[in-house]
Amino acid sequence: MVTVGLYYDVRPGQDKVFEDTVDQVIDLLSKNPGHVKSFLYRDVKNPHSYAIISEWSSQNDFTAFVRSDIFKQVTDFGKAEVLEQRPRHKVYGTERDLGGS
């Protein structure tokens, strides 16, 4: 399993547009092979800063998604009107659950 962080800074006044679009993106992600789950988080200290944390069965599954037309359409969305800057992505690698027995 790999965990991916996708980090976004959104222009003031564009938060609702961004959040609604991310809801649609997470729905699309759920239909991709190897996608486990994704969540949208908002920085409480900087309300225009967001993170999508996504879990994938493997880095290959995530890489295949990044190379897809759907991903290209999503990343093209809002470059000029919604986002302050280019999104940042980080693959955290294979993680193991540290909770419980």
- The model's pLDDT over 56-79, given as tens digits with 9 standing for 90+, comes to 999 889 888 888 887 777 666 666
Instruction: Give all strands (DSSP E) within 1-101, no chain letters.
Output: 2-9, 35-42, 49-56, 88-94
CATH code of 2-94, in short, is 3.30.70.100
pLDDT tens string 12-57? 999 999 999 899 888 888 888 899 999 999 999 999 999 999 999 9
pLDDT at residue 90, as a whole number: 87
pLDDT band for 100, please (50, 70, 90 cuts): very low
Q: What is the pTM of this model?
A: 0.81
pLDDT at residue 89, as a whole number: 83
Separation between Cα atoms, residue 57 and residue 81, nearest integer Å: 33
Average pLDDT, the chain: 85
Burial of 56 (0-12, 13-18, 19+ CB in 10 A): buried
Q: Which of 70, 60, 68, 65 is nearest to 21 (CA)?
A: 70
